[in-house]
Structure 1
């Protein structure tokens, strides 16, 4: 199968028929074999009924219905599990992503050799104050931290080689960081394409300002997990050692200073409390690293690694 098109959605009953027909037209014109996987993330309108009706007239349409709202990451993760296409494309259900971008996105994966291509909505129709400015700041910070040169990490329109989506797990609100997850999994050829951003035709946006706060917290989590999930002692042990050595150094200085000037009690010196605090923090961090190491060594996936190829086995 050439394409799997995954569409996470919530309360988008009005846009689904038009979106499905648009995707069908593009795929037929380009002679793609394809499937459309619509993942209903706990809709309270008639979205699932619409998906069932669309399935009757088009066997390429498949549906997954959550019992309640779990979030976009969960919807994408289930879609990735169900995908069979050699190229997987994700897009939002609100018609702000154009299916006309599909052929070029697929070409960048199949012909140009990219592992993943992220859309860049260079010209947007969102409110500048509440979305554009925070989004640019968020993308700038994420790019610097992850060392991935993308302008729009949160764009829903993305294309992946099949192996990428089968090698990553998207959870929590990590859908913003799929490029980062892909990079930590060893897929380094990540590209970007300017895509059309269309005005919303139906309904209202499902995301608020809190996504930016949660986004930065998720970035810290994914950066730590990506680097230190199999060796947590390298992080906690390093900082624990630094704090402990700082506290020990201050302690030695205070002891020497006490012999030089016996008139001032150690507990009356500010350095005494700084040394005590540093020693305690150092020991706590070191202990946290030791416990994390024990947990990591007993985790089911402690020796699970992504293997790109084998020969002679």
Structure 2
């Protein structure tokens, strides 16, 4: 469900000669969006290929959308604005922008002016030189608070690298360059944008994922949307990522393995109690261990049946993998129709 406010004949199919699409999700960044557009245009002034800027307004409640629309039609700027129906979160906004992107390469960055657009041309050249499918920015000299941003990020990066096997210094940097044909094979859900390298590693070898030091600026306007609580959300999301990476197509193996393990423990307990009752002649009816054995048996059955149901749901999912987790209200561009 979306309304596309573009003239018939506008270039909406294929790449249309576009070399690079810049996707920037924004939410309540009315003070930053104007300078952001100006910085992007300045940074890309010497870029040889044709490029576009896609701003995704994630249901802002301030004047972000109005400020962004005022830049449409600016000379030398191919700008499209994707206005979400409400706030769906950064991951959904990023997915909406990637879906609308028409470039052979796609760059993503934050809208708070902390990422520097001047790094993009160098990153594009580095991605091509190293023949990568994803190049991740590394904020080697972060300009954030130690407690609220650096420590949670440090913990998250090491947890993600250890569990996913994709070793990067900075998973959380939004400044990334992708090959469009690769990132469009990845479907972002929930709040999983920080795990994009792990998702991409499900599509291409991890050897085609690299990183490069980039400039990082302190936030100039507004307030950060992140804090120390993000670390706990990362841990929960990481468990989901691990499950999807290893068991997305075979969830029955995950639940079935748990069920068989619990069932084996239950069998050992009940076998011990069987010997204790019928060979040694002891009363087991009031023993807590008997109740534990019965509960473990029931848990085992429940896990195995859950695995069977999960397998059935997985097959339905793979038959229809086209549903979206967001709704676009309008798309504004230079070729916009007059209301």
TM-score normalized by structure 1?
0.91
Q: Out of 276, 292, 311, which is 2:310 matched to?
A: 292
1:41 aligns with 2:58: yes
Deviation at 1:277, TM superposition (A): 2.3
8 Å Cα contact 1:27/1:33 also seen in 2 = no
Question: In the TM superposition, what is the alpha-carbon distance from 1:303 to its structure 2 partner?
Answer: 9.8
Cα distance in 2 between the residues matched to 1:70 and 1:299: 22
- Cα 1:299/1:97, change in 2 over 3 Å: closer
Segments ≥4 residues shifted beyond 6 Å: none
Distance 1:302 1:286, change over 3 A: farther
> Which residue does the alignment assign to 1:275?
293
Of 205, 212, 215, the residue aligned with 1:196 is 215
Contact persistence 1:230–1:302 (CA under 8 A): no
Q: 2:87 aligns with which of 58, 69, 73?
A: 69
In 1: Cα distance, 2:65 partner to 2:318 partner? 36
Q: Deviations over 1:19-38 (max 9, x none)?
A: 22222222221323100000
Cα offset, 1:300, TM superposition: 4.5
Distance in 1 between residues matched to 2:30 and 2:161, nearest whole Å: 35
TM, length-normalised to structure 2: 0.84
Of Structure 1 and Structure 2, the greater helix share is in 1
Look up the match of 2:233. Answer: 214
Which residue does 1:21 correspond to in 2? 38
- Structure 1 unaligned residues grouped into runs of 5+: 305-313
Q: Does structure 2 conserve the Cα–Cα contact (< 8 Å) formed by 1:105 and 1:117?
A: yes
RMSD, aligned α-carbons: 1.9
| 2:166 maps to which of 135, 148, 160 | 148
Q: Distance in 2 between matches of 1:18 and 1:190?
A: 31
Of structures 1 and 2, the one scoring higher in RCO (CA 8 A, sep 6+) is 2
**Does residue 107 in structure 1 map to residue 132 in structure 2?**
no
Aligned length: 303
CA deviation string 1:95-131 (max 9, x = no partner):
1101111122112222211111111112112111122
SS at match of 2:73: helix
Aligned position for 1:307: none
| 1:246-261 correspondence runs (5 A) | 246-261=265-280
Residue 155 (structure 1) shift: 0.9
